[in-house]
Amino acid sequence: MGKTTASSILILFVWILPFPGKSAAIRGVATGSLASIRFNQIDVLRVSPLIGAEGFPAVASSQQIEIGGATIQVDFAQGSLDLPSSAVLPWVQRAAKAVAGYYGRFPVPRARILIVPVADERGVVQGTTWGDMGGFPGFTRIRLGQHTTQDQLASDWTMTHELVHMAFPSLPDDQHWMEEGLATYIEPIARVQSGELTTAQIWNDMVRDMPKGEPRNGDLGLDRTHTWGRTYWGGALFCLTADIAIRRQTNNRKGLQDALRAIVNAGGTIDQNWSLLRSLEIGDRATGTTVLTELYKKWSGTPTEVDLNTTWAQLGIRAEENGVEFDANAPLASIREAITLPERSSSEK
């Protein structure tokens, strides 16, 4: 989420978010020029002049979908989209199904998704997710360009990223990296498990992007270094490292996915304010390890580098000119394969 400037005169609406002490629940990914401006608990947005009771654009139409044991209300704000709502709804459904598949169910029983058209734009402009908003445990607002195409929706990652945020407690600002790192790491894996992406696609992206999460000069550890790279990709690098370590210690019987499912099943979702250690301890109990808590103690206050070249080689991932190739005989090839397999039931483990 970033601060933007504009040369034109904008209509701005400012409101205090209706939940004290939950500024850490303001999560988003700015993918275009029209991003939210985050300042403490004030959210400044360029929005429609037709504003609903909670400060969000007024709703023009609404539908409900049932996915993964949850009821999800999908609202379309007033404004123009080239695509009809019937063409946009499958995009929402795909993302919700991917998240429900990863966690074994949709993380919260009731959620609201507000689609806000943005005039003269294309693609997903920005997404933000809150907890405990307007009677919904999870609420996601997606700002969607007026001229968005079906192809752009088919390739979008933002909706899945935002819905993943519902599956972890709201944390203090210093741990924002965990919220964003989880969403960055899990989104592509969930989409592989649901059949949207291929393993070659996501490992190629990870080989390309994971180095952005490495500490730079002056880094003070994840809790005290709040750059974009460390927040998103540093958090994702933590998740990858933890996933591999859990699988190594459990002979590949359990992974990060088991830990995260346990946290959700214990009630650790976005509408709850928990300490990070509380969540990680639950995850560790589920895997029978101390990987998450020990890794956090080390990474939170100390810049810790990962030898990614060695990691990729051990996983059997080789970068080539046109993507990646896999080595089935690599020492951790079975772990690489297990990370993206749909989660097995407990009886199968």
Mean pLDDT by runs of 10 across the 349 residues of the chain is: 30 35 33 31 36 71 97 97 97 98 98 97 97 96 98 97 98 96 98 97 98 97 97 98 98 98 98 98 98 98 97 97 96 98 57
* Rg of the chain taking only CA atoms, in angstroms: 20
Q: Which DSSP string corresponds to 158-217? A: HHHHHHHGGGS-B--GGGHHHHHHHHHHHHHHHHHHTTSS-HHHHHHHHHHHGGGGS--T
What does the alpha-carbon distance between residue 59 and residue 79 come to, in Å, rounded to a whole number?
9
Confirm if 244 and 311 have CB atoms less than 8 A apart: yes
Give CA torsion, residues 44, 46, 48, 53, to 10 deg.
-10
> Which burial class, exposed, middle or buried, applies to 21 when counting CB atoms under 10 A from its CB (0-12, 13-18, 19+)?
exposed
Residue 318 CA: distances (Å) to CA of 53, 197, 208, 287, 314: 53, 19, 12, 29, 10
Confirm if 124 and 130 have CB atoms less than 8 A apart: no
What confidence score (pLDDT) does residue 144 get?
A: 98
Both tokens assigned to 326: 């896999």
| pTM of the entire predicted model | 0.85
What is the CB-side half-sphere exposure of residue 129 using CA atoms within 13 A? 26
Distance between first and last Cα of the chain: 39
Both tokens assigned to 155: 């390739």
Closest CA to 268 of 161, 160, 182: 182
What does the alpha-carbon distance between residue 170 and residue 191 come to, in Å, rounded to a whole number?
24
What confidence score (pLDDT) does residue 344 get?
A: 57
What does the alpha-carbon distance between residue 90 and residue 77 come to, in Å, rounded to a whole number?
17
Q: Which residue has the tokens 């044991």?
A: 69
What confidence score (pLDDT) does residue 49 get?
A: 37
What confidence score (pLDDT) does residue 3 get?
A: 23
Q: Which residue has the tokens 């402009």?
A: 125
- The sheet with strand 27-30 has its strands ordered as 27-30, 124-133, 136-145, 110-118, 70-77, 59-67
What confidence score (pLDDT) does residue 25 get?
A: 33
> Which burial class, exposed, middle or buried, applies to 346 when counting CB atoms under 10 A from its CB (0-12, 13-18, 19+)?
exposed
